[in-house]
Amino acid sequence: MMDESKTLKEISYGDLGNRVHADGSGVAERRVPTDGMLELTRLCSLKCTHCYIGDARWKKDPRELSTDQLKALMDALAERGTLWLTFTGGEALLRKDFKELWLYAKQKGFALVLFSNATLIDDKMAGFLELHPPQCLEISIYGATRETYERVTLIPGSFDRFMRGIENVRKRGLPWVLKAPVIKELAGEIPQITALASEWGVRLVLDGEINASIGEGQSGGKAPCASRLSEERLVDFALEDKNLLIEIKGMARERATAAMAPKTDEPLFSCGAGSNMFYVNSRGDLQMCVLTHHRSENLYADRTVADGFDATWAKFGDFRKIKMRADSPCIACDLTGICKSCPGFAHLENGDEHSAVEWLCRSTHLKALKTGLPHRCDIKHFVYTPPKKP
């Protein structure tokens, strides 16, 4: 329940969700699909080395949803209580009908977020977004210098287009956030990227947790994992986050007085996926989140999109009742609070939702060691063993 002593400014979106129903139950209990992402296309203007999309970035997909299909989907979402809607890609701005879809979503009253690499934000597009502003524009940066940026994006000339995009965003005063993947190719430039963010007066979000690809082809599968930092470097970056250090100190204090009870009956999905969050890919598959295509259904298969949504959403409710398998290394782990592993990440990595992602598992233990956080988990969890076939 929401802390009544908080001022409006301090109330988080999650808190607000808990206010939705008069009886005190929140969106999570009711499973209202408040928070969704629409992947408008997998096509992209860049070819980033660490990208999770796969080869679909450079091949037009004949199954990509049409304008009318996307509008029907937005109708269904609005009726089902979706508040936040993120347009993503690939590069969403590559869709020729982007403006039409955006205006339609605005008309439906969604709070809109746009993920973009900014290379297609010319003066006209920035002007359009100024007139019909997003709640937030989340822009990815792949280097502070041309050399690094284009070593990641593999597209000559893309750095200049990116910088022009940023200039247009700033000129129009759009609400935005800058995001940088902390990968091998650009980790050395994080200080310069941080300096750029402060020069531009924008919040910078760093993310080093690179998952395996959700797509097919030469750049699919485990290809993006080659860009991952070593566990040492990843943890060093993570521990620069003051909030994480405060959180770990708090956990250590609690553990000094009482050890965490071993867990035996844990739900597999403990995040918001399929509870209030969802993802629809560019072919119309409704997923619990971007990483869980193995638990998806197509919304347009022999039914209306509204019926498809309701039927699939009901199945997600069942998926959320699944318990962690008894042989999962994560079930008894007392480091889950600082670990970025999750069933979707693990499925992409090992083909098994109940497994541990070795790279993340090692990083988490290292984080605990470096900060002196007492924990039970031992080294045997570092090595992933696939489950025996029945």
CB of 50 to ligand SF4, least distance (A): 7
Give the nearer residue to ligand SF4 in terms of CB position, either 288 or 361. Answer: 361
> Tokens at residue 280, please?
């629809």
279: left (phi over 0), alpha (psi -120 to 50) or beta: beta
Single out the residue of 87, 84, 109, 90 nearest to residue 98, CA to CA.
87
Give the nearer residue to ligand SF4 in terms of CB position, either 305 or 333. Answer: 333
Q: How many helices (H) and strands (E) does the chain have?
A: 13, 9
CB of 73 to ligand SF4, least distance (A): 21
Enumerate the β-bridge partners of residue 297: 286
Give the nearer residue to ligand SF4 in terms of CB position, either 162 or 309. Answer: 162
CB of 142 to ligand SF4, least distance (A): 7
What CA–CA distance (Å, rounded) separates 11 from 231?
A: 34
CB of 57 to ligand SF4, least distance (A): 5
Give the nearer residue to ligand SF4 in terms of CB position, either 9 or 96. Answer: 96
Q: Give how far Cα 182 sits from Cα of 22, 61, 187, 204, 241, Å.
A: 43, 30, 5, 12, 13
Q: Give how far Cα 336 sits from Cα of 13, 41, 232, 291, 330, Å.
A: 23, 33, 19, 18, 7
Give the nearer residue to ligand SF4 in terms of CB position, either 194 or 336. Answer: 336
Half-sphere exposure of 139 (CA within 13 A, CB side): 27
What CA–CA distance (Å, rounded) separates 218 from 140?
A: 23
CB of 367 to ligand SF4, least distance (A): 9
> Could you identify the residue written with the tokens 């750049």?
219
Give the nearer residue to ligand SF4 in terms of CB position, either 83 or 214. Answer: 214
Give the nearer residue to ligand SF4 in terms of CB position, either 87 or 313. Answer: 87
Residues that bind ligand SF4 (CB under 6 A): 44, 46-48, 51, 53, 57, 89-91, 117, 140, 329-330, 333, 335-336, 339, 341, 356-357, 360-361, 364, 377, 381
CB of 313 to ligand SF4, least distance (A): 27
CB of 368 to ligand SF4, least distance (A): 8
Q: Give how far Cα 85 sits from Cα of 34, 166, 219, 233, Å.
A: 8, 23, 28, 34
Q: What does the DSSP 8-state code read for residue 118?
A: S
